[in-house]
Amino acid sequence: MRRRVYRVRQTFGAFTNGASILLRLAGGRRLSSSLTFKTRTGLVISCPNVPGARVPMYEIFAEDCYHLESFLGSALKEPLLVIDIGAHVGTFACELSRLAPQAEIWCFEPSPTTAGYLSRNAAANGFSSRIHVTEAAVTAEVGETQLLDNGGGSGLNRLASTQDGSTGGIAVRTTTFDKVSADIGGAQLVKIDCEGGEYDFVLGSSPQSWDSVQRLVLEYHPHPRHNWAELRQFFADRGLEVVEDEPATPEQGTAWLARPGLSGA
């Protein structure tokens, strides 16, 4: 009950159409297959009306889960090149575009349904020229893999390779961090939230691909063969130090990394 009351307060606090959102949440997909969230800062974001798709709306706009203003500081005024891996429906990309008017963001989202919402949300907020959407997963190889689809637009979708013994799923295209970095000429900011897929593509990438990266925010997840300590050491060897770590469990959490001496870090 406390959680429900808290969510109601968040809904009215972060969104101007709180009553409409709650009505459609209660009615579920029978009442509405999608939800539109109108933020108090002017952004309008739509997502499928399923639990896993709705959570990022609250994480970004009600809870400020990435601490973008305090983490990026004066960099928000700079012409940032950004890579967003696991971009979902575009909550991070649109919020960053609002905060950093010169940022250019390359988004990677393998789910066809989710990537469709991402493109439409970028367009709805006038960011199509700065948010570039690629329907692909970032992994250790260019090619194809299987995505375990937990429902249209779910934020819990993950690659089959992150789960031992998993089968099925849908075929999705893959690319690599090395290729992405080379194609855009190197990013200053990287955001990662790919439900366990972070280990494969990070540990399989070239150290040189991270030379341009000044700041990194990532969500790390449980994995049958890897752990957060491995990623932390990989980035430390690249000169990216943890400035904040918020573990939810010993195996899952959010971490902010930056090069020493950066303002706002």
Higher-confidence residue: 33 or 77? Answer: 77
Averaged pLDDT for residues 59-64: 96
| Amino acid code (one letter) for 113 | T
pLDDT at 198: 95
CA distance 112 to 152: 9
Domain boundaries, the chain: 1-65, 66-258
Cβ(191)–Cβ(82) below 8 Å: yes
pLDDT at 264: 61
Residue 10 per-residue DSSP state: H
Averaged pLDDT for residues 130-153: 87
Express each pLDDT in 99-134 by its tens digit. Answer: 999 999 999 999 999 999 999 999 999 999 999 999
| The model's pTM | 0.93
pLDDT at 47: 95
Averaged pLDDT for residues 184-211: 95
Across the chain, mean pLDDT equals 91
38 Cβ neighbours under 8 A, 6+ residues apart: 15, 16, 17, 44
Decide the pairing of beta strands 104-108 and 44-48.
Answer: unpaired
pLDDT at 5: 85
Tell me which of 15-29, 104-118, 128-142 is least confident: 15-29
pLDDT at 154: 60
- Give one DSSP letter per residue of 173-235, joined into a string: EEEEHHHHHHHHT--SEEEE--TTTHHHHHHTS-GGGGTT--EEEEEE---SS--HHHHHHHH
What is the Cα gyration radius of the chain?
18
Cβ(66)–Cβ(191) below 8 Å: yes
**CATH entry, 66-258, from 3.40.50.150, 3.40.50.300, 3.30.200.210, 3.30.565.10:** 3.40.50.150
pLDDT at 162: 60
Tell me which of 98-107, 164-173, 237-246 is least confident: 164-173
Predicted confidence (pLDDT) at residue 248 exceeds the cutoff of 70: yes
Express each pLDDT in 148-164 by its tens digit. Answer: 776 666 656 666 666 55
Length of the chain as a residue count: 265
Predicted confidence (pLDDT) at residue 249 exceeds the cutoff of 70: yes
